[in-house]
């Protein structure tokens, strides 16, 4: 699908942005303002960035403060909910079609890592081995192997293994995932899919049926081991480049019909190909991109020989007119990966005015990328199969529950003391309570407003209280009695507050 509407197609540029194809318009540039208009997302403004900094108490990532992540869908709502104490989960992915990632692929993963740390939220990462099998000339077995290889590069970005679940579609597909897929699929007609994704009569039916696979992880009940069985237990935020927007436009359109929240998105520009924005970074042309497996020598050669330059053709011309930063690839790449804002500004001024030459900015880029890629390679070497298994393990995660619920638990019932003499009583107790909650919420799947961290339903409180009363020790160790007294006091306090509120409401009404 082009970003032009049907009637405009002939006279307008051929800018194409789909999940499978990205190419610039006739002027060699991607028109992002046009994409925002046509896709119907919103631009990220200063105010939103400031709110993110305030609620996370973290300086915005360079990708955010430099406008590289520039568009969103309801990111403001995620931030508003977070400001009130609600949590959410992150969902991103990769289609494993090559042995290793190129630098453009690192962009969403580095940003997701920053989001995970800043907001302290769990993350799921989908590897669409099925998608690549359906679209590329690859055997499914190869795609499955590549998924694991790519996962090593993804893990090397430093995601927290306790709160990150990586899965490949062909291995993970489970009942709750399938149930979501089939519900989504029923809401989208073939005509709609053709309009969104550009399918034709030649598309194989696996391709036509694929979009629900990428849509489904936007709903937390695809991951019952992490988030329970309630489709509304958590909201979802998806970081990606804007090429993935069509999948999630479709998802958002059907969310309410299947009883879920619309996923929110935060979307980036494209990291341009080495030979210029109009070209594509492609595994079949190794000089079009730098890969995370490239050696220092390869990085230097590729940049010096192939990086598209906006500088003057001769030294004299460059001194006279300066460089065209709009098209200069070394400058654009530094905007992504040079962290120092001051230094970046100075380079832009000097190179743009002609004081700096093309060879000099290319050398700066080599000096920035070489240690970054070498560092990545060192971290990747530490990702053994055993380490990878931790990320892929779908049964590891009462820990995620515990982290999500702990704050709320403690606010409501006071801090739990660990049982002496082994056993993780805190974890066990909470998990049992959560299982009950899951059972309960399975019955009220479409209930609004039960995102984790937000005030819970009366039922959840009731179950918890009943459990505590039932289990409260009447005799025993000092600490057990202390704990019981604490629980009782907390319950009484809460009941008194509730009664006072009800009385106040009654007075206000009369």
C-beta pairs of 382-386 under 8 Å, 24+ apart in sequence: 382/156, 383/152, 383/155, 383/156
Cα–Cα distance list, 162 to 29, 159, 198, 218 (Å): 41, 9, 39, 20
Q: How do beta strands 235-241 and 164-168 pair? A: unpaired
- Which of 241, 356, 388, 434 is the binder for ligand TYM (CB under 6 A)? 241
Number of residues that bind ligand TYM (CB under 6 A): 23
Per CB under 6 A, 276 contacts ligand TYM: no
Distance (Å, whole) CA 103 – CA 110: 10
Planar angle of CA 1, 237, 161, nearest 5 degrees: 115
Find the part of the chain contacting ligand TYM (CB under 6 A) among 33-41, 72-80, 99-107, 193-201.
Answer: 99-107
Nearer of residues 104 and 354 to ligand TYM, judged by Cβ? 104
Q: Pattern 411-440, binding to ligand TYM, x per CB under 6 A?
A: ------------------------------
Find the part of the chain contacting ligand TYM (CB under 6 A) among 234-242, 295-303, 414-422, 485-493.
Answer: 234-242
Q: How do beta strands 88-94 and 123-127 pair? A: parallel
Backbone φ and ψ of 217, nearest 5°: -65, -5
Smallest separation, CB 499 to ligand TYM (Å): 48
Per CB under 6 A, 105 contacts ligand TYM: yes
Which among 324, 312, 309, 321 is positioned nearest to 365, based on CA atoms? 309
- Which of 35, 281, 323, 487 is the binder for ligand TYM (CB under 6 A)? 281
What is the DSSP annotation of 380-425?
HHT--HHHHHHHH-TT-THHHHHHHHHHHHHHHH-PPPPPSSSS-H
- Which of 214, 230, 278, 358 is the binder for ligand TYM (CB under 6 A)? 214
What is the DSSP annotation of 438-460?
HHHHHHTTT-SS--TTSPPPHHH
Find the part of the chain contacting ligand TYM (CB under 6 A) among 76-84, 104-112, 307-315, 359-367.
Answer: 104-112
Per CB under 6 A, 93 contacts ligand TYM: yes
Distance (Å, whole) CA 103 – CA 370: 12
Smallest separation, CB 446 to ligand TYM (Å): 25
> Using CA of residue 395, residue 396, residue 401, residue 404, what is the dihedral sign?
negative
Whether 274 and 289 have beta carbons less than 8 Å apart is answered as yes
Smallest separation, CB 169 to ligand TYM (Å): 9
Per CB under 6 A, 126 contacts ligand TYM: yes
Smallest separation, CB 202 to ligand TYM (Å): 20
Considering only residues 362 to 421 of the shown chain, the ones binding ligand TYM according to CB under 6 A are: none
Per CB under 6 A, 154 contacts ligand TYM: no
Whether 184 and 251 have beta carbons less than 8 Å apart is answered as yes
Residues 6+ apart with CB under 8 A from 11: none
Per CB under 6 A, 107 contacts ligand TYM: yes
Smallest separation, CB 493 to ligand TYM (Å): 44
Give the H/E segment covering residue 435.
Answer: helix 425-443
> Using CA of residue 109, residue 113, residue 116, residue 119, what is the dihedral sign?
negative
Distance (Å, whole) CA 274 – CA 394: 38
Smallest separation, CB 158 to ligand TYM (Å): 17
Smallest separation, CB 19 to ligand TYM (Å): 5
Per CB under 6 A, 212 contacts ligand TYM: no
Quick one: three-class SS letters along 281-336? CECCEHHHCCECCCCHHHHHHHHHHHCCCCCCCCHHHHHHHCCCCCCCHHHHHHHH
Per CB under 6 A, 98 contacts ligand TYM: no
Nearer of residues 78 and 430 to ligand TYM, judged by Cβ? 78
Nearer of residues 165 and 405 to ligand TYM, judged by Cβ? 165
- Which of 238, 266, 372, 388 is the binder for ligand TYM (CB under 6 A)? 238
Smallest separation, CB 285 to ligand TYM (Å): 14
Could you tell me if residue 168 is left (phi over 0), alpha (psi between -120 and 50 degrees) or otherwise beta?
beta
Whether 270 and 332 have beta carbons less than 8 Å apart is answered as no
- Which of 116, 233, 268, 278 is the binder for ligand TYM (CB under 6 A)? 268
Nearer of residues 183 and 456 to ligand TYM, judged by Cβ? 183
Find the part of the chain contacting ligand TYM (CB under 6 A) among 103-111, 113-121, 189-197, 431-439.
Answer: 103-111
> Using CA of residue 125, residue 215, residue 79, residue 224, what is the dihedral sign?
negative
Per CB under 6 A, 215 contacts ligand TYM: no
Per CB under 6 A, 124 contacts ligand TYM: no
Per CB under 6 A, 244 contacts ligand TYM: yes
Considering only residues 10 to 29 of the shown chain, the ones binding ligand TYM according to CB under 6 A are: 19
Nearer of residues 52 and 154 to ligand TYM, judged by Cβ? 154
Smallest separation, CB 464 to ligand TYM (Å): 35
What is the DSSP annotation of 334-359?
HHHH---HHHHHHHHHHHHHTSS-HH
**Count of other CB atoms within 10 angstroms of residue 299:** 20
- Which of 25, 95, 246, 354 is the binder for ligand TYM (CB under 6 A)? 95
Smallest separation, CB 326 to ligand TYM (Å): 18
- Which of 25, 62, 104, 348 is the binder for ligand TYM (CB under 6 A)? 104
Residue numbers at the binding site for ligand TYM (CB under 6 A): 19, 91-95, 104-105, 107-108, 126, 128, 131, 214, 238, 240-241, 243-244, 268, 270-271, 281
């Amino acid at each position: 699908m082009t970003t032009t509407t049907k009637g405009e197609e002939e006279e307008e540029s051929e800018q194409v942005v789909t999940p499978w194809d990205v190419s610039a318009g006739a002027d060699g540039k991607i028109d992002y303002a046009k994409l925002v208009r046509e896709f119907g997302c919103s631009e990220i403004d200063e105010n939103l960035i400031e709110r993110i900094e305030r609620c996370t108490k973290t300086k915005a990532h360079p990708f955010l403060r430099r406008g590289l992540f520039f568009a969103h869908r309801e990111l403001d709502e995620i931030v508003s909910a977070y400001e009130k104490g609600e949590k959410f989960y992150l969902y991103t992915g990769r289609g494993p079609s090559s042995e290793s990632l190129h630098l453009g692929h690192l962009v969403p993963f580095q940003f997701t890592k920053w989001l995970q740390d800043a907001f302290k939220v769990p993350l799921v990462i989908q590897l669409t081995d099925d998608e690549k099998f359906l679209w590329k000339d690859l055997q499914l077995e190869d795609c499955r192997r590549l998924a694991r290889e790519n996962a090593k590069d993804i893990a090397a970005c430093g995601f927290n293994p306790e709160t990150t679940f990586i899965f490949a579609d062909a291995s993970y597909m489970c009942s709750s995932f399938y149930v979501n897929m089939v519900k989504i699929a029923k809401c989208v007609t073939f005509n709609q899919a053709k309009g969104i994704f550009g399918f034709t009569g030649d598309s194989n039916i696996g391709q036509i049926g694929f979009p629900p696979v990428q849509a489904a992880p936007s709903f937390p009940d695809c991951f019952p081991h992490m988030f329970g069985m309630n489709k509304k237990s958590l909201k979802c935020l998806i970081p990606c480049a804007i090429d993935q927007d069509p999948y999630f436009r479709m998802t958002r359109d059907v969310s309410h019909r299947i009883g879920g929240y619309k996923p929110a998105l935060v979307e980036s520009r494209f990291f341009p190909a080495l030979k210029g924005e109009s070209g594509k970074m492609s595994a079949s042309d190794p000089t079009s991109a730098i890969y995370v497996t490239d050696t220092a020598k390869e990085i230097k050669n590729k940049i010096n020989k192939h990086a598209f330059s906006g500088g003057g053709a001769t030294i004299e011309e460059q001194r006279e007119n300066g460089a065209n930063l709009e098209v200069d690839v070394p400058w654009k790449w530094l905007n992504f990966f040079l962290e120092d804002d001051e230094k970046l500004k100075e380079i832009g001024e000097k190179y743009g005015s002609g004081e700096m030459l093309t060879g000099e900015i290319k050398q700066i880029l080599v000096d920035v990328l070489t240690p970054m890629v070498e560092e990545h390679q060192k971290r990747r070497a530490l990702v053994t199969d055993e380490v990878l298994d931790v990320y892929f393990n779908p049964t590891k995660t009462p820990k995620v529950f515990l982290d999500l619920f702990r704050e709320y638990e403690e606010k409501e019932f006071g801090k739990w003391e660990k049982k002496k003499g082994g056993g993780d009583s805190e974890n066990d107790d909470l998990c049992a309570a959560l299982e009950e909650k899951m059972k309960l919420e399975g019955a009220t799947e479409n209930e609004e407003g039960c995102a984790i961290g937000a005030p819970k339903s009366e039922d959840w409180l009731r179950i918890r209280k009943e459990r505590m009363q039932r289990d409260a020790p009447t005799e025993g160790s000092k600490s057990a009695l202390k704990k019981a007294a604490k629980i009782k006091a907390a319950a009484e306090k809460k009941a008194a507050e509730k009664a006072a509120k009800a009385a106040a409401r009654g007075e206000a009404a009369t």
